[in-house]
Amino acid sequence: MTLIFGTDEAGRGCVVGNLVLAGLVIEEKDMHKLEELKVKDSKLLTPRQREHLFDRILKAVKDKVIAQASPKEIDEAIESDSLNLNWLEAIKTAEMINKLKPDKAILDCPSPNKKAYTEYIRKHLDNKGIEIIAEHHAESKFPIVAAASIIAKVTRDREIEKIKKGIGIDFGSGYPSDPVTQKFLKENYNNYPQIFRKTWLSFKRLKKEEKQKGLTEF
């Protein structure tokens, strides 16, 4: 029995909420189940299509792990001398691999340097000899990674809805390019500190403007 692991993330570029990573393992002989579901990169599917596939994917795979990084954790990694967002994602990925114990791992690589990213993950693995395939846009090449991208995206969307319900405000997608999110951020960046990534340029720009305004008034 050969276990294949695949992982992908959702919410990497958001200014609001967690980064979500999904790790899935499937027996190699069952890979056809994902192919039959016609899984693809979550960005190519509608929210309804992703929700439709969510439970079907979980029935097809042997096991899953969801890992999340909070805005605070992301900010600390970016401001650290030894970490960055890529390395934080690599550590989370290694933790999922260690838990699921696959024979082979296929990863969507966020770093331009696939070799360095692979070596960094391997340093954090219990099984140093595992086969690792790290590819850019792996979700378009490997069904197990495409499936993971769907699980990550649906999970992240559900987390965003929980935040909206908790604060009673619809702030859109949470991405800085979204006009609804931009308006929410401008009006609320000081109100809900725990949900914002403060190292994001869009957030820092508002804090800088606030500081300059304060100096002018003084």
> Is 53 buried (19+), middle (13-18) or exposed (0-12) by CB count in 10 A?
buried
CATH number at residue 192: 1.10.10
Q: Is the pLDDT of residue 214 over 70?
A: no
Structural domain that includes position 173: 168-217
Q: What is the dihedral of CA 53, 56, 62, 64, to 10 degrees?
A: 40
Same domain, 197 and 93: no
Residue 157 pLDDT exceeds 80: yes
Let me know whether 87 and 195 are in one domain. no
Domain count, the chain: 2
Q: Do 36 and 139 belong together in one domain? A: yes
Q: Do residues 77 and 146 both lie within one domain?
A: yes
Calpha distance 74→67 (Å, rounded)? 13
Residues 202 and 109 in one domain: no
- What pairs with residue 7 in β-bridges? 23, 107
Tokens matching residue 38: 């016609």
Q: For residue 210, what pLDDT band results from cuts at 50, 70 and 90?
A: confident
- What pLDDT is attached to residue 91? 97
- State the pLDDT confidence band at 213, using cuts at 50, 70 and 90: confident
28 plus 13 within the same structural domain: yes
91 in the same domain as 47: yes
User: Are 159 and 172 part of one and the same domain?
Assistant: no
Q: Give strand ranges (E) for the chain.
A: 3-10, 19-27, 63-69, 104-108, 131-135
Among the candidates 147, 164, 181, a domain finishes at 164
**Looking at the structure, do residues 172 and 160 belong to the same domain, yes or no?**
no
Are 59 and 134 members of one domain? yes
DSSP state of 131: E
CA distance 180 to 207: 19
| Residue 16: pLDDT over 80 | yes
